Amino acid sequence: MNKVLTVSQLNNYVKNVFEDELILQNITVEGEVFENKFSGGNSYITLKEDDCVLSCVRFGARLEFEIGDKIHVTGGMRFYTKGGKVTFVISYAQAVGKGDLLVKREQLKAELKKQGYFDNFKKLPPFISKIALITSVEGAVIHDILEVLTRNGCGYIDVDVYDVMVQGANAEKTIAKALKSTKNKHYDVVIVARGGGSGQDLRCFDTELVAKSVFECQYPVISAVGHEIDYTLCDFASSLRAGTPSIAAEKVVRQNEAFLGEMFDKLSELRAKAESIVSQSAVKTKRLCTDLLLCCQ
């Protein structure tokens, strides 16, 4: 019968294997920065090569690398028993150029710009009453957008939700299909949205297919993908970019507020003119009546 181990026993054994394996210590690894975060005084970097990723951490320092940089990191592998995770602990890191993913992405971006796919000049209509929202029904995006609209007195706006995948291998196809499905549905605006995520999570919005589908949509498109600092090809091809889904809803609210404000100003002007005309007519009528009475005496 096999010996039964507890989780902690197995994890501690694996930890010792990592620490005793010299080939996993004091080594240098080359990869492309796919994600770079700073939290609690530490830098957390994800390196990528093709379909492989490596999670790294640099304790007590901020590593100022850009997404797409090709870097060398020196350090060793660690297995953390509590989380059951493998991490490369960085002792030294340096940039050595641009990664293949970044180079390809910049080439694609330049080509799309040259072909005019970033010249999306469709403007939002003066007043918005119907929205097509392209997102996943499983996320918080729908709630966030509806909450902003309702809180600001725009609950009257109709929102049709197109459920799509917002990450993964087939996500870009579902997004493109949804954009095409809005044709001739009489929308005022289309919002393409998803909440925050890693660079890998947002990758489906950073593709040629999605960028072209956004540009070719017959309605103005607001791109609201990821965090405010995230930029994808979907953003560049859209009519308007919003840093987050909530900001997209705010832009709709502001558009309608501006329209209604201008409309009420015009109504006030019209009322003032009408009152002035009535007042002048009353004075003129009174004068004519007075003259008529004098003539009859």
Same domain flag for 144 and 250: yes
Same domain flag for 153 and 34: no
Q: Tell me: the pLDDT tens digits for 203-221?
A: 889 999 999 999 999 999 9
**Do 125 and 218 contact (CB within 8 A), yes or no?**
no
SS3 19: helix
In a domain, 280, yes or no: no
For the entire predicted model, the pTM comes to: 0.71
In a domain, 259, yes or no: no
Residues 6+ apart with CB under 8 A from 130: 157, 158, 159, 160, 186, 187, 188
d(CA 176, CA 178): 5
d(CA 160, CA 131): 6
Tell me, what's the pLDDT at 176?
96
d(CA 224, CA 86): 33
d(CA 76, CA 22): 9
Same domain flag for 185 and 126: yes
Same domain flag for 49 and 17: yes
pLDDT bracket for residue 102 (50, 70, 90) = confident
Q: Tell me: the pLDDT tens digits for 236-281?
A: 999 999 989 999 999 999 999 988 877 666 667 777 676 667 666 6
Q: Which CATH number characterizes residue 70's domain? A: 2.40.50.140
Same domain flag for 125 and 223: yes
Looking at 233, 254, 275, the residue that finishes a domain is: 254
In a domain, 85, yes or no: yes
φ/ψ of residue 228, rounded to 5: -65, -30
Chain-wide mean pLDDT for the chain?
A: 88
In a domain, 265, yes or no: no
In a domain, 109, yes or no: no
What is the total count of domains within the chain? Answer: 2
- Classify burial at 276, counting beta carbons within 10 Å of its beta carbon; exposed 0-12, middle 13-18, buried 19 or more: exposed
Tell me, what's the pLDDT at 195?
85
Same domain flag for 153 and 232: yes
Asked if residue 291 has pLDDT above 90, the reply is no
Cross-strand partners of 29: 73
Parent domain of 212: 121-254
In a domain, 110, yes or no: no
pLDDT bracket for residue 44 (50, 70, 90) = very high
Tell me, what's the pLDDT at 219?
96
Same domain flag for 138 and 191: yes
Looking at 69, 99, 129, the residue that finishes a domain is: 99
In a domain, 37, yes or no: yes
DSSP 8-state symbol, 44: E
Same domain flag for 177 and 249: yes
In a domain, 106, yes or no: no
- Classify burial at 113, counting beta carbons within 10 Å of its beta carbon; exposed 0-12, middle 13-18, buried 19 or more: middle
Q: Which CATH number characterizes residue 222's domain? A: 3.40.50.261
Average pLDDT over residues 121-140: 93
Same domain flag for 144 and 230: yes
